[in-house]
Chains A and B, each alone.
Chain A
Amino acid sequence: MIELHALSRSVSMGGRELTILHPLTLTIPRGQFVAVMGPSGSGKSTLLGLMAGLDAPTSGEIRIDGQAITGMNEDALARFRGRHIGFVFQSFQLIPTLTARENVQVPLEIQRSPGAVPRADALLEQVGLSGRAQHYPAQLSGGEQQRVAIARAFACHPPVLLADEPTGNLDSRTGAQIIALLQRLHQDEGATLVMVTHDPEIARAAQRTIQLLDGRVVHDSAPAPAGEASAVAAG
Chain B
Amino acid sequence: MSTFVWPMLLREARASAKRLLLFVLCIAAGVGGLVAVKAFSHNLQRAVRGEARSLLAADIVVRSSRAPGAAEQAALAQVQAQGAQVARSLEFISMARAPATRQVQLVSVRGVGTGYPFYGEVVTGSGKPFRSLLNDDSVLVYSALLLKMGLHVGDTLEVGHKRFRIADVLVKEPDSPVQMFNLGPRVLMTEAAARETGLVTPTSRLRYAALIKVPPGADAGAMARGLQERLASSFASVDTFDTSQPRSSRFLGRLTDFLDLVGLAALLLGGIGVAGAIRVFVAQKLDTLAVLKCLGATSRDLLAVYLLLAVLMGLLGAALGVALGYGAQLALPWLLRDLMPVNVQMAWPWAAAGQGLLLGLVTTLWFALPPIWALRQVPPARVFRRQVEAEAPRKGRRRWLAPLRAGLSLLLLAALLAVWQAGFTKIAGFFVLGLAGAVAALHLSALGLLALLRRLPKPAGFELRQGLSSLYRPGNQSGAVVMSLGLGVLLLLAVFLIQQDLLRQLVASSPESQPNLFFLDIQPDERAQFDQVLASHGYDRPELIPVIRARIAALNGKPLRLDEVHDAHQRRHLRFEYSLTYRDRLVDGEQVIAGHFAKDPAIPGPQVSLADWFAEDSDLHVGNTVTVDIQGVQVRATVTSIRKVDWANRRANFSFVFLPGALEDAPRMYVSALRVPDETRRVTLQRDLVNALPNVTVLDVEMIYRIIQTLLDRIGVVIQFMAAFCIAVGLVILLAAIATTKYQRIREAVLLKTLGATRGAVARVLAVEYLVLGGLAGAVGAVAAGAFSWGLVTYVFEGRWDLSLPPYLAAWAVTALLIAGTGLVSSLDVLMKKPLEVLREE
Question: CA separation between A97 and B297, bound complex, in Å?
Answer: 17
Instruction: Identify whether the interface residues of A are mostly helix, strand, loop, or mixed.
Output: helix
Binary interface encoding of chain B residues 1-30 relative to chain A, with 1 for a CB under 8 A from any of its CBs, else 0:
001100110011011100000000000000
Question: CA separation between A102 and B301, bound complex, in Å?
Answer: 17
Task: Find out whether the CB atom of A95 lies under 8 angstroms from the CB atom of B288.
Answer: yes
The verdict on A97 contacting B299 (CB below 8 Å), with A89-B383, A110-B292 known, is: no
**B795 in the interface, Cβ–Cβ < 8 Å?**
no
A116 contacts across to B, CB distance below 8 A: 3
What band does the interface of chain B fall in when counting residues whose beta carbon is under 8 Å from A?
20 to 34
A112 contacts across to B, CB distance below 8 A: 3-4
**A185 in the interface, Cβ–Cβ < 8 Å?**
no
Shortest beta-carbon distance from B379 to chain A in Å: 7
A95 contacts across to B, CB distance below 8 A: 288, 291-292
The listed residue (A82, A93, A105) touching B7 by CB distance below 8 A is A105
Instruction: Identify whether the interface residues of B are mostly helix, strand, loop, or mixed.
Output: helix
Binary interface encoding of chain A residues 17-33 relative to chain B, with 1 for a CB under 8 A from any of its CBs, else 0:
00000000000000000
Question: CA separation between A104 and B329, bound complex, in Å?
Answer: 50
Question: CA separation between A103 and B293, bound complex, in Å?
Answer: 14
Question: CA separation between A105 and B298, bound complex, in Å?
Answer: 16
Task: Find out whether the CB atom of A106 lies under 8 angstroms from the CB atom of B299.
Answer: no
**8 A Cβ contacts from B296-310 to A:** 296-301
**B121 in the interface, Cβ–Cβ < 8 Å?**
no
**B389 in the interface, Cβ–Cβ < 8 Å?**
no
**B371 in the interface, Cβ–Cβ < 8 Å?**
no
Task: Please give me the residue from chain B that is nearest to A156 by CB atom.
Answer: B296
**B841 in the interface, Cβ–Cβ < 8 Å?**
yes
**8 A Cβ contacts from A67-103 to B:** 74-75, 78-83, 87, 89, 93-98, 102
Task: Please give me the residue from chain B that is nearest to A80 by CB atom.
Answer: B296
The verdict on A79 contacting B841 (CB below 8 Å), with A49-B381, A54-B380, A110-B301 known, is: no
What band does the interface of chain A fall in when counting residues whose beta carbon is under 8 Å from B?
35 or more
**A152 in the interface, Cβ–Cβ < 8 Å?**
yes
Task: Find out whether the CB atom of A82 lies under 8 angstroms from the CB atom of B383.
Answer: no
B841 contacts across to A, CB distance below 8 A: 138
A82 contacts across to B, CB distance below 8 A: 295-297
**B294 in the interface, Cβ–Cβ < 8 Å?**
yes
**8 A Cβ contacts from B670-703 to A:** none
**8 A Cβ contacts from A93-134 to B:** 93-98, 102, 105-107, 109-113, 116
B12 contacts across to A, CB distance below 8 A: 97
Task: Please give me the residue from chain A that is nearest to B840 by CB atom.
Answer: A138
Question: CA separation between A45 and B3, bound complex, in Å?
Answer: 32
Shortest beta-carbon distance from A83 to chain B in Å: 7
Question: CA separation between A156 and B16, bound complex, in Å?
Answer: 28
**B629 in the interface, Cβ–Cβ < 8 Å?**
no
**B287 in the interface, Cβ–Cβ < 8 Å?**
yes
A113 contacts across to B, CB distance below 8 A: 3
Binary interface encoding of chain B residues 368-407 relative to chain A, with 1 for a CB under 8 A from any of its CBs, else 0:
0000000010011101110000000000000000000000
B376 contacts across to A, CB distance below 8 A: 74
Task: Find out whether the CB atom of B4 lies under 8 angstroms from the CB atom of A93.
Answer: no
Task: Find out whether the CB atom of B7 lies under 8 angstroms from the CB atom of A110.
Answer: no
Task: Find out whether the CB atom of B299 lies under 8 angstroms from the CB atom of A75.
Answer: yes
The verdict on A78 contacting B288 (CB below 8 Å), with A98-B11, A102-B11 known, is: no
Shortest beta-carbon distance from B373 to chain A in Å: 14
Shortest beta-carbon distance from B744 to chain A in Å: 15
- A-B residue pairs, 10 tightest by C-beta: A82-B296, A97-B15, A75-B298, A109-B4, A54-B381, A107-B295, A78-B298, A112-B3, A54-B380, A109-B3
Residues of B within 8 A of A (CB): 3-4, 7-8, 11-12, 14-16, 287-288, 291-301, 376, 379-381, 383-385, 841
17 contacts between A and B (CB under 8 A): A55-B379, A74-B298, A78-B298, A79-B296, A81-B294, A81-B296, A87-B295, A97-B15, A97-B288, A98-B11, A106-B295, A107-B295, A109-B4, A109-B7, A110-B4, A113-B3, A164-B384
14 further contact pairs, Cβ within 8 A, besides A98-B11, A109-B8, A110-B4:
A54-B381, A55-B379, A78-B299, A78-B380, A79-B296, A81-B296, A82-B297, A87-B294, A87-B295, A93-B383, A95-B288, A110-B301, A112-B3, A138-B841
